[in-house]
Amino acid sequence: MFIVLLGAVIPRVLSAAPPAQDGLELMRFKASEKSEAMYILRATGCREAGDTCRLELELSEGTDGTRKARLPDGMAHGLRKESRGTASSGSWTSGEEEQSVTTSVQPVRLEAGEWGLLVTQQSGFEHVHRRHRLYAVKDGGVTEAWNGDENFAGPETSHVGPYPLAPGSPVEGFYREYAFLSADKESGEPDQWKLDAYRWDAAGRKAVTELQHRPERHAAIIGSFKTAQEAIAYRDGAQLEQACASRFLVLESKPFKRLTPGLFIVTKIHPEKTASEATLKKVGACNPKVSGYVKAL
């Protein structure tokens, strides 16, 4: 991790250029394979401590310089670039505790020769919230083509990412995976979990719901019960001092077509079957009284 100080030239930082009048260029992302067009992420409007940076996306070959997209949350002066992620993605953090904001960008191939950008902004400390956006090229500029914010109503988590629509296809869809963590002894209610999938409608220049080719998910299930209260009690009892069932959800089985309806399951969900199998081995080694099975959702 290193620090990019806005208003200063940092040597040997490949993803940050010296600041121009219109702001500090943070990183460039490919927009098209048919041209040299690039998305440019800039931080503007701040040059010293106490300033708030506006984050903007523009197109390097835009026909109209005013067609920029502004990200929802600003960031404090002094962005820190995170080392995690791939060479084609980027992540920046600024601020402390409740004032902290992290902006992460990952490309998604919307068409065979065209890319969009999935952007997540995470803010807060004890109560973390996330805003998700898809940005795409339209009419020679950058536009917001989709958003999927959290509800900001309680303990929740979500993330987005690209996935292949079909084996061998260069075109990708993208998903939003969401969980509302409400299951506890006081509420007696189950958690909520949802996976939404989308693809790009090239004709309409918009994101649409994808129903046929959805990303895989596999549930590591360690118990099924008739009531949510029983499932919550079992999950809590499986914890031991080592938190053996940490981050397991209590979910109603009805929304899942491959599960027996009318039950409440104690589960942890992964994209890969092998990850779910590893989860069962780990929880079983932690608490030998716990066992389970893997089910594709």
Look at the block and give the residue holding tokens 């001092």: 241
What pLDDT score was predicted for residue 71?
Answer: 96
For 176, the enclosing helix (H) or strand (E) is strand 172-180
Please, which residues have CB within 8 angstroms of residue 183's CB and are 6 or more apart in sequence?
Answer: 189, 190, 191, 228, 231, 232, 235, 249, 250
What pLDDT score was predicted for residue 5?
Answer: 39
> What are the angstrom distances between the C-alpha of 84 and each of 1, 5, 87, 115, 161?
9, 19, 9, 21, 15
Contact 269/279 with Cβ under 8 angstroms? Answer: no
How far does CA 160 lie from the centroid of its chain? 3
HSE value, Cβ hemisphere, 13 Å, CA-based, for 220: 23
Pairing state of beta strands 75-76 and 101-111?
unpaired
What is the distance between the alpha carbons of residues 269 and 264, in angstroms, rounded to a whole number? 14
What pLDDT score was predicted for residue 21?
Answer: 36
The torsion angles phi and psi of 278, rounded to 5 degrees, stand at -65, -35
What pLDDT score was predicted for residue 178?
Answer: 96
What pLDDT score was predicted for residue 63?
Answer: 55
Strand partners, 102: 93, 122
Q: Write out the chain's pLDDT in tens, 297 residues.
A: 333 433 333 223 334 433 433 578 999 999 998 889 999 999 998 878 788 899 999 999 755 555 889 999 999 888 888 876 677 889 999 988 778 899 999 999 999 999 999 999 999 877 889 999 999 998 889 999 999 999 877 789 999 999 999 888 889 999 999 999 888 888 889 999 999 999 999 999 999 999 889 999 999 999 999 999 999 999 999 888 788 888 899 999 999 999 999 999 999 999 999 999 999 999 999 999 999 999 999
Residue type, 70: R
